[in-house]
Amino acid sequence: MMKKSSLILSLLLCAASLFAQKADYNIVPLPRSIEADTTKTFTLTADDAISIAATAADTETAQAMERNAAFLHEYLLEEAGLDISIRHADKKAGIQLRLLKGKEQIKADTPSPQDAYRITVNKRGIELAANTPEGIFRAVQSVRKMLVPAVGTSYNQHFKNIATNGVKFDYAVINDAPRFAYRGQHLDCARHFFSTDFTKRYIDLLAMHGINQFHWHLTDDQGWRFEVKSMPELAKKACRREQTVIGHNCGIYDATPYGEGCYYTHEEMRDIVKYAAERYVNIIPEIDLPGHMVAALHVYPELGCTGGPYQVWPIWGVADDVLCVGNPKTLDFLKKVLSELCDVFPSPYIHIGGDESPRVRWKKCPKCQGKMKELGLKREAELQTYVNKELENFLAQRGRSIIGWDETLEGGLSPNAIVMSWRGYEGGIAAAKQKHHVIMTPTSHCYIDYYQLKNTHDQPLAIGGYLPMSKVYSMEPVPSGLTKEEEQYIMGPQCNLWTEYVLSPDHVEYMTLPRLAAMCEVQWLLPEAKDFEQFSKRLDRLQQAYRRLNYKFCRRWE
């Protein structure tokens, strides 16, 4: 016979399991301002509805608001088990999506006002308000994460509790806006190829974390993944390497061809661009030049200084063979590639690489030396600037700006180039002082191809190094030593994931998570709002969503 105290405890536990679940406003990234009244709650149930407050004046905005409502419907079903209908201009609906106009628009202190939003919870229900559909989307993502069950509560129990008693939201006014307009994440698909389906899944992950720029590395020495219709042999032949080195360039090869047919067609890329745009993620494509071009030289050896022959590189590292800048056909080739790139990607930014481009071949190449004499150049580094300027002008005619790695500083920057500072902060500081825009991505805080735990034996293979989540979180993208004016040139930070040693989608996710969550708070929060201990507690709950979505992630952090 059960003891009285045990019976009471069992009854209390049973009763607790039937209580309404409570939304948690302490999400990742943490909203800028939360004013909550915990004595009053609104309960959301399956009988409620999502209402788009008013029909937008233009078709594009109306469609965007319909998508936002559909996303919210999807997330409510996934995170709370609530299949809530969507209506139009229904003032009695429990959730209202409303675009603000005129004087009632949010005037947030942010370089990205289109991302600002306000969530209001009161007796009438939940209102998601913003100046733009993009801001509404950010609010929808926040509500989604508020619904994740508490640690220790299974989704099955979570759904049962909600089906019985709904979800309680404390009365609140939540105002939010990101610190930086540029919030990036990079993925290298050249060294190892990832399918269109996985790329979309990765974009979903970025959107969940407030990322709005996906830097997509498409070409390198070890593989070319971008279809160029005017040169059909390029992707078909340059996508495949005959074998791949095992481990860290140990001199032993797997004797297995890799990458046959592994490139993205225009149609596939346009589909991915559309998918990302619907989630307010811009895709920045990268064609790395004039170095990291051995795969292209394999198909067009006449574009190299030696004439080849060249093989798609089976090892990792930096190749001495680069494009011959003295050959007029080289610029013709690059302009054909970039012209088609612009046809596929509407991004205002095109990344032209510029990193790790040795000049040893240029020093001995008669054509390159002749070009230097023709242009009156004194250093080979200036040849790279010559190419950058030519391509910057070419892309400017198409309304695009170029981004280059910080090596592009060495021969002098082209007039409107954006610098991506990866070899520390110094390149970014120098560029900002020259009044060039900068994206901060130093290896010390942003290279998530490094190990995230000290004990490397417990982890998948990585390039080396050690970058724990706490170090990512500690990043300050705006370095000291800049004037207030110069600080305005820091666009924002991003993490980079190079894939020499990352072979599978699961491995990509593991290297990304949870460090992406740390970076998203760096991108979103003001410095004084960051607190790693509190972030770690909020992350525990977010990982419940990772599990449900079957994302692979590092379950420990340092």
Residues annotated catalytic, as ranges:
220, 292, 356
Helix (H, G, I), strand (E, B) or coil at 274: helix
| End-to-end Cα separation, the chain, in angstroms | 48
If you ran DSSP here, which 8-state letter would residue 303 be given?
Answer: G
Helices 381-396 + 366-375 axis angle, to 10? 70
Residue 504 tokens read as 């599978």
Residue type, 141: Q
How do strand 213-217 and strand 49-52 relate by DSSP bridges? unpaired
Q: For the chain, percent helix, then strand, then coil, each to nearest 5? A: 40, 20, 40
User: Could you tell me which of 269, 336, 268, 273 has the C-alpha nearest to residue 300?
Assistant: 336
Q: How far apart are CA 533 and CA 376, in angstroms?
A: 57
Q: How far apart are CA 45 and CA 409, in angstroms?
A: 57
The three-state (H, E, C) secondary structure of 348-359, written as one string? CEEECCCCCCCC
User: Could you tell me which of 284, 25, 291 has the C-alpha nearest to residue 147?
Assistant: 25
246 — alpha (psi -120 to 50), left (phi > 0) or beta?
Answer: beta
Q: Is 232 exposed, middle or buried (0-12, 13-18, 19+ CB in 10 A)?
A: exposed
Output the CA torsion 462→465→469→475 (10° steps).
Answer: -130
Using an 8 Å Cβ cutoff, are 441 and 351 in contact?
Answer: no
Output the CA torsion 72→78→84→86 (10° steps).
Answer: 30
Using an 8 Å Cβ cutoff, are 155 and 102 in contact?
Answer: no
